[in-house]
Structure 1
Amino acid sequence: MKQLVLIFGTLYGASSVILGAFGAHAFKKFLSPEKLASFETGVKYQMYHALLLVIIGLFLQFQSGLEKGAGWSIIIGTFLFSVSIYFLSFADHWGVNLKWLGPITPLGGLLMIVGWFLLLFYFLKRN
């Protein structure tokens, strides 16, 4: 699990830099300012949680259910949150109706919050 968390952290980090660069340059040409702002929100949250995954991957052993639950919640939540925002940002440009993705974004956010609280419970239980 430790290796998996580190792999996802580094993949999320690298891809957020790549997507952020495209958002700052190429996507400006065809995304509205509102859609671009949403896209950038997805990139920011992906990077924040990439850093979190690398940090917990370096310091936790993932032997307890709280540690494993936190790792999985953050991995899955970040994917659902950011990727759904990316697709929703491009829906108009692609001319497709992706409104069904709307509920996925808060579900991803909820999982990220759950991950943070599982870390809190782990730290409180440890001391």
Structure 2
Amino acid sequence: MMHDRPWWLTTALSGALMVMIGALGAHVLAAELTPRLMAAFETGVRYQAWHTLAMLGVLAWRATLPLPGQRLVLALWAAGMLLFCGSLYGLALSGMDWLGPLTPMGGLLLILGWLTLAGVVLRNRSKA
């Protein structure tokens, strides 16, 4: 587990930030943002929540059965959350439209993480 310490820390911080950002949205921004921007903000929170939970699952799996490719899954999801969720948060909070193109790039990284996870399972059928 010690070699995965940075990933545990990243996952814990993602979870804490997700709760704080979600609370900000629910208690402060709901009355300030347009419905469209609030929906974008909530989408970022939801995707961050699901991918943070998925990272916990992969880390728990690694603790019992470390396999090649699992860390790549974590890296793709972390980068994907940063770009996808971060761009949605930034767009909603600042209105900076230039963040828009980052959202699909982040989404692509999230998808690649899931496909990489499938590859890890398929390559290690006898172990996974």
TM-score where L is the length of structure 2: 0.87
1:71 counterpart residue number = 74
Question: Are 2:84 and 1:86 aligned?
Answer: no
Amino acid at match of 2:112: V
The equivalences for 1:1-127 within 5 A come to 2-60=4-62, 64=68, 66-92=69-95, 98-127=96-125
Q: CA deviation at 1:4?
A: 2.1
Percent sequence identity over aligned pairs: 35
- 4+ runs deviating over 6 angstroms: none
Q: Is the 8 A contact 1:84 1:105 kept in 2?
A: yes
Listed as ranges, the gaps of 5+ residues in structure 2 are none
1:2 Cα offset (Å)? 2.1
Query: What is the CA–CA distance in structure 2 between the aligned matches of 1:21 and 1:100, rounded to whole Å?
Result: 26
- Per-residue CA distance 1:69-96 (angstroms, 9 max, x = gap): 211101111111101000101224xxxx
Paired residues of 1:5 and 1:54 also in contact (CA < 8 A)? no
Q: How far does residue 6 in structure 1 lie from its aligned partner after superposition?
A: 1.7
Cα distance in 1, alignment partners of residues 25 and 120 from structure 2: 36
- RMSD, matched Cα: 1.4
Note if contact 1:81-1:108 (Cα within 8 Å) is conserved in structure 2: yes
Is there any run of 5+ residues in structure 1 with no aligned partner, and where? Answer: 93-97
Q: C-alpha separation between the residues in 1 aligned to 2:118 and 2:6?
A: 21
